[in-house]
A and B are shown apart, each in its own frame.
Chain A
Amino acid sequence: MNKLLKQLKQLKRAERLTAMDGQSMAQSWNRIAEAIGADETSEVTPSVSAMYFEYARWNASKYFSKPVAASAFSVMMVASGWIATVNAADSLPGDTLYSVKMITEKTQLRLASLDRKAVLHTEFAGRRLQEASDLQEGTQDADSAQLVHGAIEAYKQEVASAGESLRQLKDEGSAEALATATSVQQNLQAIDTTIDAVAAESGSAEATQEVLAAKEVAKEVNDVATTVAVEVHEEQPTDLSTQELKQMFKSDLGRIEARQRFDLERIDVIKIALADDGVSYDGFAVPTSDELLAYEYPIVAVDSLLSQAMNNFAAGGFRSAFEKLQEIDTALLEIESQLAQVEIAIMQARLQPEPTPVVPEESVTSESVL
Chain B
Amino acid sequence: MSTFEIKFLTFRVFRFGDTKAFRQLHTLHAARIRHYIAFRVNRPEDADELTNEVFLRAWEYMTAQQVENITALFFRIARNLIADHYRKGGKTVPLTPVMEDGLAAPGSLTRDAEVQEEAAEVYKVMKSLKEEYQEVLLLRYQDEMSIEEMSDILGKTPNAVRVLLHRAKQALKEKV
- Residues of A at the B interface (CB closer than 8 Å) are 1, 4-5, 7-15, 17-20, 24-25, 28-29, 31-33, 35-36, 38-40, 43, 45-46, 51-52, 54-55, 58, 264-265, 268-269, 272
Partner of A272, one of B8, B56, B111, B141: B8
B20 to A40, Cβ gap below 8 A? yes
Partner of B31, one of A20, A31, A38, A45: A20
Residues of A within 8 A of B122 (CB): 4, 7-8, 11
B137 to A8, Cβ gap below 8 A? yes
**Chain B 35-52 interface 0/1 with A at a Cβ cutoff of 8 Å (1 = within):** 100110000100110011
Question: Given contacts A28-B30, A51-B15, is CB(A45)–CB(B20) below 8 Å?
Answer: yes
Say yes or no: is B162 at the interface (Cβ < 8 Å to chain A). no
B contacts with A, residue count (CB < 8 A)? 49
Tell me the smallest distance from the CB of A89 to a CB of chain B, in Å: 31
Say yes or no: is B166 at the interface (Cβ < 8 Å to chain A). no
B11 to A14, Cβ gap below 8 A? no
* CB closest residue in chain B, given A264: B4
A272 to B142, Cβ gap below 8 A? no
B31 to A29, Cβ gap below 8 A? no
Question: Given contacts A36-B19, A36-B59, A38-B22, is CB(A58)–CB(B11) below 8 Å?
Answer: yes
A38 to B19, Cβ gap below 8 A? yes
Q: How far is the CA of A55 from the CA of B16 in the complex (A)?
A: 11
- Interface secondary structure of A, over-half rule: helix
A14 to B115, Cβ gap below 8 A? yes
Say yes or no: is B87 at the interface (Cβ < 8 Å to chain A). no
Tell me the smallest distance from the CB of B99 to a CB of chain A, in Å: 12
Residues of B within 8 A of A40 (CB): 19-20, 23
Q: How far is the CA of A207 from the CA of B19 in the complex (A)?
A: 35
Residue among A18, A40, A58 with most chain B CB within 10 A: A18
B26 to A29, Cβ gap below 8 A? yes
- Residues of B at the A interface (CB closer than 8 Å) are 2, 4-5, 8, 11-12, 15-20, 22-23, 26-27, 30-31, 34-35, 38-39, 44, 47-48, 51-52, 55-56, 59, 109-112, 115, 118-119, 121-122, 125, 137-138, 141-142, 144, 169, 172-173, 176
A7 to B121, Cβ gap below 8 A? yes
Q: How far is the CA of A13 from the CA of B18 in the complex (A)?
A: 35
A58 to B15, Cβ gap below 8 A? yes
23 contacts between A and B (CB under 8 A): A4-B176, A7-B118, A7-B121, A8-B138, A11-B119, A13-B112, A17-B109, A18-B39, A25-B27, A25-B30, A28-B55, A33-B19, A33-B23, A40-B23, A43-B18, A45-B16, A46-B16, A51-B11, A51-B15, A55-B11, A264-B4, A268-B2, A272-B5
* CB closest residue in chain B, given A30: B52
Residue among A9, A14, A39, A265 with most chain B CB within 10 A: A14
Tell me the smallest distance from the CB of B142 to a CB of chain A, in Å: 5
Residues of A within 8 A of B15 (CB): 51, 54-55, 58
* CB closest residue in chain B, given A27: B48
How many contacting A-B pairs (Cβ < 8 A)?
Answer: 125
Residues of A within 8 A of B20 (CB): 40, 43, 45
Q: How far is the CA of A269 from the CA of B173 in the complex (A)?
A: 47
A8 to B110, Cβ gap below 8 A? no
A20 to B19, Cβ gap below 8 A? no
Residues of A within 8 A of B34 (CB): 18, 20
Q: How far is the CA of A169 from the CA of B53 in the complex (A)?
A: 65
Q: How far is the CA of A15 from the CA of B110 in the complex (A)?
A: 9
Assuming A17-B110, A33-B23, A268-B2, what are 15 further A-B pairs, CB within 8 angstroms?
A1-B172, A9-B144, A10-B118, A13-B115, A14-B110, A14-B112, A18-B109, A20-B31, A29-B23, A29-B30, A36-B59, A38-B19, A43-B19, A45-B18, A55-B8
Residues of B within 8 A of A269 (CB): 4, 8
Tell me the smallest distance from the CB of B36 to a CB of chain A, in Å: 9
Q: How far is the CA of A29 from the CA of B4 in the complex (A)?
A: 23
Question: Given contacts A1-B173, A17-B109, is CB(A268)–CB(B141) below 8 Å?
Answer: no
Q: How far is the CA of A265 from the CA of B53 in the complex (A)?
A: 32
Partner of B38, one of A9, A18, A32: A18
* CB closest residue in chain B, given A262: B4
Tell me the smallest distance from the CB of B94 to a CB of chain A, in Å: 16
Tell me the smallest distance from the CB of A50 to a CB of chain B, in Å: 9
